[in-house]
A and B are shown apart, each in its own frame.
Chain A
Amino acid sequence: QKEVEQDPGPLSVPEGAIVSLNCTYSNSAFQYFMWYRQYSRKGPELLMYTYSSGNKEDGRFTAQVDKSSKYISLFIRDSQPSDSATYLCAMKPSGGSYIPTFGRGTSLIVHP
């Protein structure tokens, strides 16, 4: 079992839909949780960063962490065709190595 599991999709939704992207993990030491967006032929771009459990909102994006279930989510409200990209979750423990462990990414397609 990989440390971080993420459904590769593709996830296809109509414009305006609420999108839910998820990752599960097995390492209970993970404390920092990130979401990256990667457009085709580009490098990943940090979208959201959260520490420990709870919610964080930034515009149309909400990141949610449930450490008891080892489950994190990214919600996108009022999805737009420009949101079509691959979304990668990443996480790392506090202290020790600074290197995050990435999920394989979920491909999202928002069609007009």
Chain B
Amino acid sequence: KAGVTQTPRYLIKTRGQQVTLSCSPISGHRSVSWYQQTPGQGLQFLFEYFSETQRNKGNFPGRFSGRQFSNSRSEMNVSTLELGDSALYLCASSSERGTDTQYFGPGTRLTVL
């Protein structure tokens, strides 16, 4: 079974631009969560989607948004990029909500110049 895939793997953007990241969960998984990982803050939860609905949201500004499609694929969008948005963005999928076996993708490395 294929793992979680994330595209693109690397991105370089400039301040003020916007970016869209994509995540394809493991086949059959319906829950997708997004995390931001930085050396200073570690892994921080962004949001969780299940059955196309946002179920939980972390403490991030409204510039960070996401959505989930009927095939469980998910996208996250960051508008008006800031230097501090440079991070590894990780997507994790699980079969149902609340299961502890979250499978992480390799992440998208975003650099904002």
Contact = CB atoms under 8 A, between A and B. Distances in A.
Interface in B57-97: 58, 90, 92, 97
Contacts, number: 48
A91 to B, nearest CB: 10
B16 interface: no
Interface residues of B, number: 23
A46 B45 contact: no
Contact of A43 (B41, B48, B90): B90
B90 A99 contact: no
A98 B48 contact: yes
A43 B42 contact: no
A43 B97 contact: no
Interface residues of A, number: 20
Interface of B: 4, 33, 41-45, 48, 55-56, 58, 90, 92, 97-98, 100-107
Contacts of B101: 46, 49
A21 B106 CA distance: 24
A105 B102 CA distance: 17
Contacts of A105: 42-43
A34 B100 contact: yes
B42 A102 contact: yes
